[in-house]
Structure 1
């Protein structure tokens, strides 16, 4: 199902950062700082949520544009961050036609919620300028982590089917690499954050659109 209405119910009670940003943002901001010397400080936030990340990156000097399909998230943006260019929309829209292209696209903890990941990856690619950089994060899954979840009896909690609009795709480094490569992105590399690497909470993929 690709209807925006089907995913618009993702809930945000406020406009503050969530716990995952505590381990994601240091790595993301480090990558952006390295890019800031080489590209215009413009980025697109694909799945901007309640605007909390966009607000932080805006304070870092980035001109932030973005969309999210959560009506509550965009309501929080308009209430708490009205200066940000964050609007209602999704990866299933023709975003490049609407907003143009950017030297950087970020998408944090989004791809695991997406019903049609190839459409998402194509939108990501189209939003990037030639030579542009994509920064995508998602919960990490690997053999040792999955084994630890099984041994500690936490599989149901981690892979819960009871979270409306929650995680529906569970990515590994290999599967996310394949998705991005299929879309035409190259030079894919990964960082693992939030615990030691084999048990990482999330992984961050950095990829490039060829010139």
Structure 2
């Protein structure tokens, strides 16, 4: 059974042409990208003992970006030397991702598919899975995360980010980002689908993974920059999980 939510996919289909416009509808993601890349790179390097001063430190690693959109994370991973597969349920996003990667001289395997599709196809396991800002848009988070876990090799790492569910996140992510700042179209997020860190940890554990870290992404409205925080997970946050074995 697919966990793809057609209504959620439709929201991103309508914005697909703007994936690489830093001042377009994905401006918040472009602003967040350097911060989340810092976290992702550090976690993968730590798990696999990679030297980030090397020219291509992720050489030999196979990385899946599930819900890849226009490829904003796929391209940096490819530049670091990884073999990258980018998957998205949106038929409009994949051509945008392919064209931008080709223009950038990068070889990335982009596919319109779901996690369940990859499992059903017997896709070879991945060393790392990037699962960023996706789980709040699927129909069944537990089934989705279980499918993702099935795609991870023993000893592999999954990095999963989402938005906390509390009054502050409603004010910041829904009222502030969508209605006041109009960074995103109204209705992009459904507050009831947000997950608390404890809830996400529970889903990851039930999927057979071992959560080992959770860190906040914190926005500074004065400097207009994002930073990592071990204390503030009140709105945006990210987790790292390992597949035992």
Scaled by the length of structure 2, what TM-score is found? Answer: 0.72
For 1:90 and 1:149, how far apart are their aligned partners in 2?
Answer: 28
Deviation at 1:21, TM superposition (A): 1.2
- Check if 1:41 corresponds to 2:61: yes
SS of residue in 2 equivalent to 1:166: coil
Alignment RMSD (CA, Å): 2.9
Task: Choose from 128, 132, 144 the match for 1:108.
Answer: 132
Task: Choose from 38, 63, 76 the match for 1:56.
Answer: 76
Closer/same/farther in 2, CA of residues 130 and 155 from structure 1, 3 Å limit: closer
Task: Choose from 64, 69, 91 the match for 1:71.
Answer: 91
Deviation at 1:66, TM superposition (A): 2.4
Closer/same/farther in 2, CA of residues 202 and 155 from structure 1, 3 Å limit: closer
Task: Choose from 13, 16, 19 the match for 1:12.
Answer: 16
For 1:14 and 1:160, how far apart are their aligned partners in 2?
Answer: 17
Deviation at 1:33, TM superposition (A): 2.3
SS of residue in 2 equivalent to 1:194: strand
Closer/same/farther in 2, CA of residues 124 and 149 from structure 1, 3 Å limit: closer
Tell me which moved more, 158-167 or 112-121.
Answer: 158-167
Deviation at 1:155, TM superposition (A): 7.4
- Check if 1:207 corresponds to 2:241: yes
- Check if 1:31 corresponds to 2:43: yes
CA contact (8 A) 1:42 1:104 kept: yes
SS of residue in 1 equivalent to 2:161: strand
Closer/same/farther in 2, CA of residues 137 and 155 from structure 1, 3 Å limit: closer
SS of residue in 1 equivalent to 2:44: helix
For 1:102 and 1:155, how far apart are their aligned partners in 2?
Answer: 32
Closer/same/farther in 2, CA of residues 18 and 71 from structure 1, 3 Å limit: farther
Q: For each residue in 1:37-57, what CA deviation from the matched residue of structure 2 results, as whole angstroms up to 9, or x when unmatched?
A: 368421111111111210011
Question: Runs of 5+ in structure 2 lacking a partner?
Answer: 21-28, 51-57, 180-184, 220-228
For 1:199 and 1:183, how far apart are their aligned partners in 2?
Answer: 22
Question: Runs of 5+ in structure 1 lacking a partner?
Answer: none
CA contact (8 A) 1:132 1:209 kept: yes
Tell me which moved more, 18-27 or 91-100.
Answer: 91-100
For 1:201 and 1:113, how far apart are their aligned partners in 2?
Answer: 16
- 2:189 matched residue in structure 1: 166
CA contact (8 A) 2:4 2:138 kept: no
